[in-house]
Amino acid sequence: MTKKILILGGGTGGVVAALTLAEAKKEYGLDYEITVVNRDEWHYMPPLWMDVALNGTPIDKTRAPLKGLEKYGVNVVIGEATKISLADRKVELADGKSLGYDYLFVTLGLRNGWEDIPGYAEEGYHNYSPEGAVELHKALNEFKGGKVVIVTPEIPFRCGIYPMEMATVLGNRFHVRGIPAEITLLNPKIPGTNLDITWSLGPDIGRLWTKYFKMYGVKVEPHDGIEKVDPTRKVVVARGGKEYPYDLLIKIPMPRPPKVLETDEFPKDPSGRFTVAKPRDFRHPQYDEVFLTGEHAMPPVGLGTAGVFIHAASHKAAQVLLRDEFGVGTVQEIPPVVCVAYVADKGFMGACEVTFDGERYNWRNCYNVMESYLMKMTKHAFYQGWLDRLRV
């Protein structure tokens, strides 16, 4: 009987799992059908939303139709999962339909939580959604000078380099355009240290950021928590009562699990923010036919909330399924992960070694591979090439 593989989420994790399984199905002649469920018709590349915010890049350049998976033999259902019944192997959708499965990949990303800090939801700008990126672009174009505060409320946060990346890019932007601005990074401290998240990827990447902080006068203010944002007085209040006035507030969301995962069927880590999976193979703690490879599952296994880790986790989980349930292929351990990001007016390539100690992954040994204008072009080329796989 044909097996049904259901993948919830059409982001990086969902697409990687679908393509890995589709390629194996063709290569080995396997009997299963793959279905991806996503709440809208698009597969987005969120790192490109920074280009929307900074340069007005059209949203169409940051996405591709998820239906493009169909040319690889993958079914695509546009709909939002509202209930997952693991015991019944059934997923209910918002339109009332339900889908059964033999194997399930849950890779639904994270919800942008703003609500836990008073005033945080109502004030400030961000580019963690297409709409937010467009609003931030307008705000930056209207900004004529003053105090810019970039707030990261807690660890972990989505995309571990974003605050530093944005600070250096804005520093260069204001310098080139002659805009008098003072940029302050409100960065959380790394637990158990006196260091802030500038150094979270290790000394090599930390030195890269601080070089450009000094170049553009970016101030870093470590904090132990954000108490509130006061839009009337335009100040951010950190724990202990210290206040940071702003003319432009750029905010990083607090990661929270998608609503459909806020049930007892998906155990959480002690923080309550992330779903728990078995670190070795990303299986659900109680249901071996269920794999959790979205951002919502990365921190408890020791990985970061970023696309490179989701890509690696989904690829490995798909290999585990193919080997254990269909008897084909081999499982490769997660290799070093590489990302390309902006720094000021250039780009850099960073790499992190990933090891597994039997209980969790470790990836803090990161280093700067290359810093140049070429890396800025490489970032664009990689992401557009990725999206082109789905474009018709």
CA–CA distance from 110 to each of 53, 121, 387 (Å)? 21, 16, 21
Q: Dihedral through CA 336, CA 19, CA 255, CA 186, nearest 10? A: 50
Average pLDDT of span 210-218: 98
Can you give the pLDDT at residue 81?
98
Band of residue 161 on the pLDDT scale cut at 50, 70, 90: very high
Q: Please, what is the angle between helix 307-326 and helix 12-28, to 10°?
A: 30
CA–CA distance from 88 to each of 104, 302, 378 (Å)? 12, 30, 45
What is the CATH class of 3-110+257-333? alpha beta
Residue 164 in contact with residue 252, Cβ under 8 Å?
no
Alpha-helix residue ranges (DSSP H) falling in the chain = 12-28, 49-55, 130-142, 162-177, 203-216, 298-301, 307-326, 373-388
Residue 239 in contact with residue 142, Cβ under 8 Å?
no
Q: What CA–CA distance (Å, rounded) separates 329 from 335?
A: 17
Question: Is 203 a residue whose pLDDT tops 90?
Answer: yes
Domains in the chain: boundaries: 3-110+257-333, 113-254
Can you give the pLDDT at residue 392?
72
Degrees, nearest 5: CA angle 361-364-367: 135
Can you give the pLDDT at residue 257?
95
113-254 has the same fold as 3-110+257-333: yes
Question: Is 369 a residue whose pLDDT tops 90?
Answer: yes
pLDDT in tens, 8-40: 999 999 999 999 999 999 999 999 999 999 999
Residue with tokens 């703690």: 285
Question: Is 90 a residue whose pLDDT tops 90?
Answer: yes
pLDDT in tens, 35-85: 999 999 999 999 999 999 999 999 999 999 999 999 999 999 999 999 999
Strands 243-245 and 235-238, by their bridges, are antiparallel
Can you give the pLDDT at residue 233?
97
Can you give the pLDDT at residue 174?
98
pLDDT in tens, 335-345: 999 999 999 99
Q: Is 113-254 assigned to CATH 3.40.50.10170?
A: no
